[in-house]
Structure 1
Amino acid sequence: MLSSPSTSRRLAALAIACLLGMALPATPALAQKTKTKPAPAAEASTAEPVNSMSVDIPTIDAVAANMDEATLRDVFSGDLVDNAEALAGLTATSITIPEITLNVEVTTDDTTTQSTVVWHDIVLDDVVDGVAASVTMSGTTVTTSADASGDFGALSARQVDIGGLLGLYGLVDGEGQTEMQTLYSDFSFSGGSFTAPEISCDFGAVTAAEFRGRPISSSFVEIMALLEALDDPMDDPSPELLGKALHLYADVLTAFESSPVQFDGFDCSGVDEDDNAVDFSVASMTMGGMSPGIYPSIDMTDMDLAVGEDGTISIHTLSFKSIDLSAPLAAIQAAPVALDDSWFADNARSLIPAFAGFSIGDVAIDVPDPDLADGRIVASVGSFDLALSDYVNGIPTSLNTSANNVILEIPATSSDEQLQTLVALGLTSIDAGFVIDASWDETASTIAINEVSLTGADLATVTLAGTINNATEALFSSDETTMLAASMGLALSDLQLDIDDAGLSDIILSIAAAEQGSDAATLRPVFAGLAEGTVIGMLAGAAEAQKIGSAVSAFVSGKAKSLSIGLTAKQQPGLGIIDFMAAEQDPTVLLDKVTIDATN
Structure 2
Amino acid sequence: MQTSTTSRRRLGALAAACLLSVALPTTAAWAQKSKTKAEPSVEAPAETPAVATAAEFSVAIPTIDAVDSNVDDETLREIFAGNVIDNAEDLAGLTATSITIPEITINATNTVDGETTTVGFVMSDLVFADVADGVAGSVSVASATFDVGEAGSGSYDAFTMSDFNIGALLGVLGLVDNVEPGEFQTIYSDFTMEGGSLSYPQIDCTLNPATAGEFKARPFNYSVPEMMQLVSTLSETETPSPETLGALLRMYADVLTAFEMSEVKYSGVDCSGTDDEGRPLTIAVGSFTMGPWTPGVYPAFSVEGVEIAVEGDGAVSLGSATFKEMDLSGPIAAIEAAPEALDEAWFVANARSLIPAFAGFSFDGLDIDVPDPETEGGRITASIGAFDLSLAEYVNGIPSDILTTGSNIVVDLPEDSDDEQVQQLLALGITSVDAGFTVDASWNEAENTISVDEVSVTGADLATVLLSGTIANATEALFATDQNEMMAAAMGIAIANLKVDVTDAGLSDIILARVAADQGGTAEQMRPVFAGLAEGTIVGMLAGAAEAQKVGGAVSSFVSGQAKQLIIELTAKEAPGLGLMDFMAAESDPTVLIGKVTIDATAK
TM-score clears 0.5:
yes
Matched, 1:527 2:530: yes
Query: Which whole-Å CA distance do the structure 2 matches of 1:119 and 1:597 have between them?
Result: 77
Considering only aligned residues, what root-mean-square deviation do their CA atoms show, in Å? 2.7
Q: Secondary structure at the match of 2:601?
A: strand
Within-5 A mapping of 1:54-133:
54-107=58-111, 112=116, 114-133=118-137
**Contact 2:28–2:56, Cα closer than 8 Å, also in 1:** no
| Aligned with 1:46 (options 34, 45, 51) | 51
Aligned length: 570
Query: Which whole-Å CA distance do the structure 2 matches of 1:462 and 1:372 have between them?
Result: 33
Q: Secondary structure at the match of 1:574?
A: coil
Shift of 1:228: 0.8
**Contact 2:27–2:56, Cα closer than 8 Å, also in 1:** no
Q: Secondary structure at the match of 2:63?
A: coil
**Contact 1:492–1:569, Cα closer than 8 Å, also in 2:** yes
Q: Which runs of 5 or more structure 2 residues have no equivalent in the other structure? A: 1-13, 32-47
Which residue of 2 is the match for residue 160 of structure 1?
164
Q: 1:198 to 1:296 in 2, by over 3 A?
A: same
| Aligned with 1:273 (options 258, 276, 280) | 276
Within-5 A mapping of 1:303-382:
303-370=306-373, 373-382=376-385
Q: 1:243 to 1:577 in 2, by over 3 A?
A: same
| Aligned with 1:546 (options 522, 527, 549) | 549
Q: 1:162 to 1:195 in 2, by over 3 A?
A: same
Which residue of 1 is the match for residue 513 of structure 2?
510
Within-5 A mapping of 1:521-600:
521-600=524-603
**Contact 1:211–1:259, Cα closer than 8 Å, also in 2:** yes
Matched, 1:209 2:213: yes
Which residue of 1 is the match for residue 471 of structure 2?
468
Which residue of 2 is the match for residue 12 of structure 1?
none
Matched, 1:450 2:450: no
Within-5 A mapping of 1:209-248:
209-234=213-238, 236-248=239-251
**Contact 2:49–2:236, Cα closer than 8 Å, also in 1:** no
Query: Which whole-Å CA distance do the structure 1 matches of 2:279 and 2:398 have between them?
Result: 43
Q: Secondary structure at the match of 2:104?
A: strand
| Aligned with 1:393 (options 392, 396, 420) | 396
Shift of 1:81: 3.4
Q: Secondary structure at the match of 1:78?
A: coil
Q: Secondary structure at the match of 2:86?
A: coil
Query: Which whole-Å CA distance do the structure 2 matches of 1:517 and 1:149 have between them?
Result: 73
**Contact 2:171–2:179, Cα closer than 8 Å, also in 1:** no
Shift of 1:190: 1.1
Query: Which whole-Å CA distance do the structure 2 matches of 1:30 and 1:256 have between them?
Result: 23
Q: Secondary structure at the match of 1:59?
A: coil
List per-residue Cα deviations over 1:324-357 (Å, max 9, x = no partner): 1111111112222222222222211111000001
Query: Which whole-Å CA distance do the structure 2 matches of 1:389 and 1:44 have between them?
Result: 45
Query: Which whole-Å CA distance do the structure 1 matches of 2:208 and 2:584 have between them?
Result: 61
Q: Which runs of 5 or more structure 1 residues have no equivalent in the other structure? A: 1-20, 37-42
List per-residue Cα deviations over 1:422-479 (Å, max 9, x = no partner): 5686644311100100011111111000000000110000000000111111111111
Q: Secondary structure at the match of 2:342?
A: coil
Matched, 1:192 2:218: no
| Aligned with 1:409 (options 408, 412, 431) | 412
Q: Secondary structure at the match of 2:139?
A: strand
Query: Which whole-Å CA distance do the structure 2 matches of 1:290 and 1:147 have between them?
Result: 33
Q: What amino acid does structure 2 have at the position aligned with 1:559?
A: Q
Q: Secondary structure at the match of 1:572?
A: coil
Query: Which whole-Å CA distance do the structure 1 matches of 2:241 and 2:319 have between them?
Result: 48
Which residue of 2 is the match for residue 5 of structure 1?
none
Q: Secondary structure at the match of 2:587?
A: helix
**Contact 1:168–1:255, Cα closer than 8 Å, also in 2:** no
Which residue of 2 is the match for residue 302 of structure 1?
305
Shift of 1:108: 6.6
**Contact 2:29–2:56, Cα closer than 8 Å, also in 1:** no
Q: 1:494 to 1:418 in 2, by over 3 A?
A: closer
Query: Which whole-Å CA distance do the structure 1 matches of 2:216 and 2:418 have between them?
Result: 62
List per-residue Cα deviations over 1:122-171 (Å, max 9, x = no partner): 01112222211111110112234428332210111111111222233334
Q: 1:477 to 1:362 in 2, by over 3 A?
A: same
List per-residue Cα deviations over 1:524-569 (Å, max 9, x = no partner): 2332222222212221211111221121122222222111110000
Query: Which whole-Å CA distance do the structure 2 matches of 1:420 and 1:327 have between them?
Result: 48
Query: Which whole-Å CA distance do the structure 2 matches of 1:284 and 1:60 have between them?
Result: 38
TM-score normalised to structure 2 length: 0.88
Shift of 1:90: 2.2
Which residue of 1 is the match for residue 287 of structure 2?
284
Matched, 1:169 2:173: yes
Query: Which whole-Å CA distance do the structure 2 matches of 1:416 and 1:581 have between them?
Result: 31
Q: Secondary structure at the match of 1:560?
A: coil
**Contact 1:174–1:215, Cα closer than 8 Å, also in 2:** no
Query: Which whole-Å CA distance do the structure 2 matches of 1:456 and 1:558 have between them?
Result: 18
Which is further off, 283-292 or 327-336? Answer: 327-336
Which residue of 2 is the match for residue 138 of structure 1?
142
**Contact 2:492–2:579, Cα closer than 8 Å, also in 1:** yes
Q: 1:332 to 1:370 in 2, by over 3 A?
A: closer
